[in-house]
Amino acid sequence: MSATTAAPGTPGTFDISQTPRTPLTRLVGVELRKLVDTRSGRWLLIIQAGLIVLGSAILAWAVRDGSVGFFDFTANIGGAVTGILLPVMAIMSVTTEWSQRTNMATFTLEPRRPLVVVAKMVATVIAAVVSVVVAVGIGALGAALAAGFGATVDWDPNVEGLLGFTFAQVIGLLVGFAIGTLLLNTPAAIVTFFAYYSIIPGIMIAAGQFFDWFEDLRPWIDFVSASGPLIYGFDDIEWGHLATSGLLWFVLPLGLGILRMLRAEIK
C-alpha cells in the first residue's frame, strides 16, 4: 500500500502519518500468535518436540552401559531437530502472508511495513529461544532417563556450549527468515534453505578436493561450516570466516529480502 504526501484530509488520498502507530510489543504478540494459531505452525512445533523426545529416548537407551553428558542430549538431539525445523518456521512466518494473501489485512491494520518486518523477526527469535529452552528441558529428562538405565551421566551444564548452541539456532533461524523475505514463496524458500543447509556445503567440500585454490576459499564462503562449531561453544570459532560467510549468506539476502518486502505489491 503506497503512501502519499498530500495534505491531510485531501479526498482520495492516504496519509500514513495520520494513522496511529501500533506498539511494537503488540505486533510481536500478534506475530507470536500467528506462529501457533495456524495448523501448519502448530504441527511444526508438535513434531519438533516429538522428535526431540524420541531422539532423547533412543540416545538414553543406546548409552545405557556407558557414559553421557547432559549437554549431549541438547546439542546432538535438540540441535539436529531445531536446526532444521526452526528455520522452516521462520520461513513460514514470512511467506504465508503472501501465499495465503493475508498481507493486505496485515498492512492495512499497520501500514508501516518496516515495523511489521521487525515484529516478525523479533517473534521468530523469541520462538527460537523458547524452543532452545524446551530442548534443554527435554535433554535433562533424557539424561535422567539414561541414568535410570544405568548410564553414567555428567551433569555439567556447559554454559558456554549452551550459549553457543542458542546463538547457532538463532543464526540458522535468521538465515531461514532472510531466505523467506527474499523469495516470499513457501515451497521455493524451504527448498532453497535445504539446498543451502545440506547440498551446497557438500558441493563446496567436493570442489575443494579437486581445486586447492577453492579449498583455501571455502572457509570464507561456507556459512554452515563456519557456524557449526558454535553448537559446542566459542573456542574453535574462526570469527573472520563466520563474518565473511555470514555477510554472503545472511546479511546480503536479508537486506535484499527486506527491501523486497517493503516494495512488493500487495495482492
Task: With both helix axes pointing from N to C terminus, report the angle between 79-99 and 159-183 in degrees, rounded to the nearest 10.
Answer: 30
With the C-alpha atoms ordered 204, 185, 85, 31, is the resulting torsion angle positive or negative? positive
Q: Which three cell numbers stand for residue 173?
A: 533461524
Residue 11 included in any domain: no
Would you write out the chain's pLDDT as a tens digit for each of its 267 residues? 444 444 555 555 555 555 677 888 999 998 888 887 777 778 888 888 888 888 888 888 888 888 888 888 877 777 778 888 888 888 988 888 887 777 788 887 888 888 999 999 999 899 888 888 888 888 888 888 888 888 888 888 778 888 888 888 888 889 999 999 999 888 999 999 999 988 999 999 999 999 989 999 999 999 988 888 887 766 677 888 889 999 999 999 999 999 988 888 777
- How many angstroms separate the CA atoms of 238 and 211, rounded? 22
Domain assignment of residue 235, yes or no: yes
pLDDT computed for residue 14 by the predictor: 52
* pLDDT for the residue 18: 59
Kindly state whether residue 9 falls inside one of the protein's structural domains: no
Distance CA 227, CA 197 (A): 11
**What angle (nearest 5°) sits at the alpha carbon of residue 25, between those of residues 24 and 29?**
115
What pLDDT is stored for residue 1 in this prediction? Answer: 44
Residue 109 and residue 50: Cα distance in Å, rounded?
Answer: 36
The pLDDT, as a whole number, for residue 69 is 82
pTM here? 0.83
Give strand pairing partners of 67: 152
Asked if residue 12 belongs to a domain, the reply is no
Residue labelled with grid coordinates 538414553: 60
DSSP secondary structure, 60-81, as one string: HHHTTTSEEEHHHIIIIIIHHH
197, 224 in Cβ contact below 8 A? Answer: yes
Burial category of 147 from C-beta neighbours within 10 Å (exposed 0-12, middle 13-18, buried 19 and up): middle
For cell 539476502, name the residue. 253
227 contacts: CB under 8 Å, gap ≥ 6: 168, 171, 172, 242, 245, 246
Residue 128 lies in a domain: yes
d(CA 9, CA 17): 12
Residue 6 has a pLDDT of 46
- The DSSP secondary structure of 140-175, one letter per residue, reads HHHHHHHHHHT-EEE----HHHHHHHHHHHHHHHHH
Give pLDDT, residue 15.
56
Distance CA(123)–CA(107), nearest Å, equals 17
Give the domain extent around 170.
Answer: 23-263
* pLDDT score recorded for residue 16: 58
Q: What is the pLDDT of residue 13?
A: 52
Q: What is the pLDDT of residue 4?
A: 47
Residue 237 confidence (pLDDT)? 78
Q: Is 118 helix (H, G, I), strand (E, B) or coil?
A: helix
Half-sphere exposure of 236 (CA within 13 A, CB side): 10
- Cell representation of residue 43: 504441527
C-alpha cell at 40: 501448519
Question: How many domains would you assign to the chain?
Answer: 1
pLDDT of residue 46: 84
Quick check: is 192 in a domain? yes
In-domain check, residue 6? no
In this structure, is residue 8 part of a structural domain?
no
